[in-house]
Amino acid sequence: MKLSIIIVNYNVKFFLEQCLISVCKAVESIENEIIVVDNNSIDGSIKIVKEKFPQVKLIENTTNLGFSKANNQAIKECKGEYILLLNPDTLLEDDTLKKIIAFADETPKAGGIGVKMIDGKGRYLPESKRSLPTPEVAFYKIFGLSKIFPNSKTFGKYHLTFLDENEINEVDVLSGAFMLIRKSVIDKIGVLDETFFMYGEDIDLSYRITKAGFKNYYFPKTRIIHYKGESTKKSSVNYVFVFYKAMVIFAKKHFSKNNAKLFSLLINTAIYFRASLAIISRFIKSLFSPIIDFIIIFSGIILIKNFWLHTMFYHNETYYPTIFISLVVPAYILTWLFSVYFTGGYEKPINLLKSVQGIAIGTIIILVIYALLPETFRFSRAIILFGSLWAIVSMSVVRYLLHLTKVKDFKIGSKLSRIAIIGSKSETERISLLLNQFSKNPEFLGFVNYNDSNNINSNTIGNFEQLKEIIDIYHINELIFCAKDLPYDKIIDKMSELQDADINFKIVPPEGIFIVGSNSIESSDSFWAININAISKKVNLRKKYTLDFLLAVIFLIFSPFILLFIKNKFKFFSNIFNVIRLKKTWVGYIKNTQNQKLPKIKDGILSPVNLFKNIDFTPELLENINLMYARNYKVRNDLTIIIKNIVQLGK
């Protein structure tokens, strides 16, 4: 057998299916075996492999064993002359494997081979070729010298940026996202080091290949898309700790004792330096807007108080006690700001309506509490009402001014999608229906013909060869490629050609009901989401339970009005008390779906399916809606579902 392909998967079924489709095309004339090792995914990955790729050997782990152990499980079963370690979030050109195997056959000294990788926007990924992370190289990388002097053979060693990205070269380190290795080399040097759970194992393996007398080659005569290169949150604290700790393991294993100590000291310094920067940066960014809002609203209320005092109470300076300014007003403002936070008013891009909704909800909460207080603590309804108006006006004006000055994090509204779908008539029409099913309503939608003389209708805006002109004329900002009709090399060609354009690229697999795109693996601004287990994060559970409790109290207080719209009044009160007792949640999963591995939450009174009207749901679509809700939880999603379905709260 010529080739064994190993893919380790963990909760990226959308990308796994796309990857397997591209792999199956690429191995058509090669004697091969494909092995998928699943590390206990909960997203239905196993089901997709079994149903759509029966020829694939599947290893089902009951726990997440990590990258190295999972690969080693498959390596022990491999029969191919070559073994390809491949990430599930990759796409191959149709001739990628033919080209790289031909090169390997012609280059007997090649122990490992990697390829040119591009991200989901067609941009070159520098991790396609790397040098060994010696203390010197690591120092230049950690402290930014490699970025300042990329063409220097001294400072640019980490990503070998002084080498032409389009030329074949010997390199020290290959990326584990795509790594072709001779099985005879694996037999000689051993399998992946299982000390590395994630990150670092590819560096270790690459180094052991060269130590054994073989060479690693960077082979850019073919390309792959690697989405993970775009989605890895390299500024996150978790990434910093996991990645750099892997470097320490590597140093202790391969460097001399003194060099290992120096490297460990350097890396640990870098860990705490980068982690501190990440924490401080995130803290400042998250609190910047609320602090500015607090200061402006507080200043405005002081002016309103003084005006009200002098106008209505004849300069009675003792009318508002010190406690009113020091405690009550800050409590009002914090209530407004927390309400704005829960309605999504601090999310990006800025939505002014959500800020207004937050202030309105906060005002209702303040007035309700105000009505329940003793007379001595009721200072002024007028201050509350005028203060809320000032909060709305000031927050809106400040955000609009920041928007006009083009401050990045204060952009108001999201760009309307102007979409072109590229493919045959049948596929472009199918994708159009898919967009509508997921409530993606673009400002413009056109079809681009690809090798289909029948693909001419009122929505056809041109041919594939005219794509650049189509983008310019119709101001397209989103391209959707139909993988059923277009070879992956054509897709990658266009993505690379248009990499400098402000365009999101998306790919639809044949007969697929999902769309994989370039925003990133963890994108939430499209109709899929890959933030696995987001609802199970403590912060999200806390938000959800807080929202449930607050709404239950509000519904109870305003029940005389709400009951006018609800049929089953007893059930409505029962639901309120069940939510307060943490027996139920206002919004939960769609019941009776097949996936039983979703993160645990309370049974819901409503579910995400209540957002959709007049749609014939298949079991698979219901399962995917549940997964999207679990992966990309937001308080505003719950609020939207509840507000739109308030009459069903008694069901």
Final residue in a domain of this structure, among 230, 251, 271: 230
The reply to whether 188 falls in a domain is yes
Q: Is the pLDDT assigned to residue 248 strictly greater than 90?
A: no
Query: Per-residue confidence at 350, pLDDT binned at 50, 70, 90?
Result: confident
Phi and psi based region of residue 421 (left: phi greater than 0; alpha: psi -120 to 50; beta: remaining)? beta
How many residues in total does the chain contain? 651
The reply to whether 66 falls in a domain is yes
Residue type for position 153: K
User: Tens digit of pLDDT for each residue in 527-573?
Assistant: 333 333 467 777 778 888 888 998 998 888 888 888 888 888 889 99
The reply to whether 144 falls in a domain is no
For tokens 């309804």, name the residue. Answer: 381
Does residue 450 share a domain with residue 315? no
Where helices occur in 313-351 by DSSP H, the ranges are 322-323, 329-342
pLDDT recorded at residue 526: 36
Sheet containing 418-423: give its strands across. Answer: 460-463, 444-449, 418-423, 478-482, 504-508, 516-517
The reply to whether 454 falls in a domain is yes
Q: Is the pLDDT assigned to residue 48 strictly greater than 70?
A: yes
pLDDT recorded at residue 528: 36
Where helices occur in 96-236 by DSSP H, the ranges are 96-106, 135-142, 145-148, 183-189, 201-211, 228-231
Query: Per-residue confidence at 275, pLDDT binned at 50, 70, 90?
Result: low
Cα Rg, the chain, nearest whole Å? 29
The reply to whether 114 falls in a domain is yes
The reply to whether 322 falls in a domain is yes
Least confident of 27-36, 365-374, 625-634, 635-644: 625-634
The pairing of strands 90-92 and 584-587 is unpaired
Does residue 552 share a domain with residue 461? no
Final residue in a domain of this structure, among 358, 385, 407: 407
Does residue 598 share a domain with residue 644? yes
Final residue in a domain of this structure, among 407, 436, 457: 407
3 state SS for 202-243: HHHHHHHHHHCCCEEEEEEEEEEEECHHHHCCCCCHHHHHHH
- Supply the mean pLDDT for the chain: 81
Does residue 638 share a domain with residue 553? yes
Average pLDDT over residues 304-325: 72
Tell which wins on pLDDT, 608 or 232.
Answer: 608
Span between the terminal Cα atoms of the chain, in Å: 60
Domain that holds residue 391: 293-407
pLDDT recorded at residue 235: 44
pLDDT recorded at residue 521: 39
For residues 630 and 535, the answer to whether their CB atoms sit within 8 Å is yes
Q: Is the pLDDT assigned to residue 232 strictly greater than 80?
A: no
Tell which wins on pLDDT, 286 or 98.
Answer: 98
pLDDT recorded at residue 520: 40
User: For the domain that residue 494 is a member of, what is the CATH number?
Assistant: 3.40.50.720
Least confident of 186-190, 237-241, 318-322, 398-402: 237-241
Query: What values do phi and psi take at 175, rounded to 5?
Result: -85, 135
**Entry pTM:** 0.63
Does residue 81 share a domain with residue 196? yes
User: Tens digit of pLDDT for each residue in 481-517?
Assistant: 988 888 888 888 888 888 777 788 888 888 666 666 6
Does residue 619 share a domain with residue 502? no
Nearest alpha-carbon partner for 79 in 176, 155, 6, 175: 6
pLDDT recorded at residue 4: 96
Q: Is the pLDDT assigned to residue 262 strictly greater than 70?
A: no
The reply to whether 385 falls in a domain is yes
Does residue 100 share a domain with residue 213? yes
Q: Is the pLDDT assigned to residue 240 strictly greater than 70?
A: no
Measured over the CA atoms of residue 445, residue 446, residue 452 and residue 455, the dihedral's sign is positive
Query: Per-residue confidence at 184, pLDDT binned at 50, 70, 90?
Result: very high
User: For the domain that residue 205 is a member of, what is the CATH number?
Assistant: 3.90.550.10
Domain count for the chain, please give it.
4
Does residue 225 share a domain with residue 89? yes
Does residue 546 share a domain with residue 475? no
Q: What percent of the chain has pLDDT over 70?
A: 81
Does residue 511 share a domain with residue 540? no
444, exposed or middle or buried, with CB in 10 Å at 0-12, 13-18, 19+?
middle
Does residue 304 share a domain with residue 185? no
pLDDT recorded at residue 326: 87
Does residue 642 share a domain with residue 556? yes
User: Tens digit of pLDDT for each residue in 190-215?
Assistant: 888 777 656 668 888 888 898 899 99
Query: Per-residue confidence at 263, pLDDT binned at 50, 70, 90?
Result: low
Average pLDDT over residues 469-474: 85
Query: Per-residue confidence at 577, pLDDT binned at 50, 70, 90?
Result: very high
166 token code pair: 């389009």
> Highest mean pLDDT: which of 37-41, 266-270, 453-457, 625-629?
37-41
User: Tens digit of pLDDT for each residue in 351-410?
Assistant: 888 889 889 988 998 888 888 777 777 777 888 899 999 999 999 888 888 877 776 667
User: Tens digit of pLDDT for each residue in 400-458?
Assistant: 888 777 766 677 766 677 889 998 888 888 888 777 655 456 778 888 888 766 656 66
pLDDT recorded at residue 274: 66
The reply to whether 190 falls in a domain is yes
